Structure 1
Amino acid sequence: MKLDPIVLENAQVRLEPLRESRKKAVREALNVDPEAWDILVSSAYGEDFEDWWTDAMRSVHLGHRLPYVVIDKAAKAIAGVTGFFDIVDAHRRVEIGGTFYRPEFRGGLVNPACKRLLMGAAFEAGAIRVEFCTDALNGRSRAALARLGAVEEAVLRRHKVTHTGRVRDTVIFAVTEDDWPTVKALLDARLG
């Protein structure tokens, strides 16, 4: 499995690999909704942005992560960020995460459009499993993952410490290569 840092695009969104030339625009786009950042493991809000950016760039160079800037094509604006995490080529497994959307882009087609592109790229690259990890307290994320057709598999108790110091339980969802044709058809119909 080899995930390349290429632009991914469909009718709704354009996903561009995170690049230094986009840093200022990404900072401005993510500097919203501080309460939404509180439930996430890391924060890119305010003064946290530099550490978030540095960690993202370091992870890219190590081959562990491939973050994307999400551009809503209708609005011609940065809607947020998402990407591949925990890339494990040997096991043909990858996590999709690091997702944050500006409030005005939540609940519409941006998330399913992004997930369709990312899962499609992962399975085309040879993945046999795509995972999603979310905070057990994040009802919005859990509902969105279920609507995508991902299967809730487990709760990892006291799994991660968030940037606020809270110890979170993590809920694991997944789509396997066997699930993908059905999930793909569901997403294509939803986005159609």
Structure 2
Amino acid sequence: MKIDPVVLENRWVRLEPFAPELKEDVRAAISVDEAAWSIMVSTAHGRNFDPWWDGFIDRMATGRDTPYAVRRLSDGRIVGTSSLHDLFPTHRRVELGSTFYHPDARGGVVNPASKRLLLQHAFDSGIVRVEIITDGINQRSQAAIAKLGAVREGVLRRHKITHTGRVRDTVMFSITDEDWAAVRARLDARLADYA
């Protein structure tokens, strides 16, 4: 199985698979807010953007990752990224992550609209389990993931080392194909508030 890198769109956002012509718009959107990047495993801030981008392009070529630039349709601007990555075809499992939005795109419709598209695409592609992980100290991210309706499964202790050298605990959430109908209804109800 594979997840095709196709354009995904609803009335709020268009998710565009990474392509060379998007690189500078993505850089402008996410190579900002150094403090927010400070708790991430990797960083696309400043001089780190090019290796970050190149890594996604390389993994995209192998079918392991499907990274997207997130375009906000209200103004046509690229405002962030999100991806379906670390695909395990044998187990029909993928991670939804590497999500980072420009500060002016946080807290509104962009994230739930993007997650709605990515989850639909994953499950339509035959995925049975979508994992969403975050840093144990990132309370904002944990709250946003829980608000999606994902199930918090536990903490992977001392799981990853961040780009700053800090050893982090990772909080694991998941949404399965059996959960999807309820999660989809919950997301659709949230998005109806933006209609």
Q: TM-score, normalised by structure 1?
A: 0.98
Matched residues in 1 for 2:122 and 2:149: separation?
16
Matched residues in 2 for 1:37 and 1:53: separation?
15
Q: Residue type of the partner of 2:121?
A: A
Matched, 1:90 2:90: yes
Structure 1 ranges of 4+ moved more than 6 A: none
Count, aligned residues: 192
2:104 — aligned with what?
Answer: 104
Matched residues in 1 for 2:77 and 2:21: separation?
16
Residue ranges of structure 2 left out of the alignment (5+ in a row): none
How many angstroms does 1:75 deviate by? 2.4
Matched residues in 1 for 2:187 and 2:75: separation?
21
| SS in structure 2 of the partner of residue 107 of structure 1 | coil
Matched residues in 2 for 1:190 and 1:30: separation?
25
1:24 — aligned with what?
Answer: 24
| SS in structure 1 of the partner of residue 165 of structure 2 | coil
Q: Residue type of the partner of 2:78?
A: I
Please give the residue correspondences for 1:35-114 in structure 2 after superposition, counting only pairs within 5 Å: 35-114=35-114
How many angstroms does 1:62 deviate by? 2.1
Give identity over the alignment, percent: 54
Q: Residue type of the partner of 1:166?
A: R
Matched residues in 2 for 1:24 and 1:95: separation?
25
How many angstroms does 1:140 deviate by? 0.7
Render the CA deviation track for 1:63-95: whole Å, top value 9, x for unaligned: 211100001111221110001111111111110
How many angstroms does 1:51 deviate by? 1.0
Matched residues in 2 for 1:109 and 1:161: separation?
31
2:11 — aligned with what?
Answer: 11
For the aligned residues, what is the CA RMSD?
Answer: 0.8
Matched residues in 1 for 2:18 and 2:144: separation?
24
Matched residues in 2 for 1:13 and 1:7: separation?
10
Matched, 1:171 2:154: no
Q: Residue type of the partner of 1:162?
A: T
Render the CA deviation track for 1:6-37: whole Å, top value 9, x for unaligned: 00000111000000111112112212100000
Q: TM-score, normalised by structure 2?
A: 0.96
Matched residues in 1 for 2:54 and 2:189: separation?
38
CA contact (8 A) 2:17 2:66 kept: yes
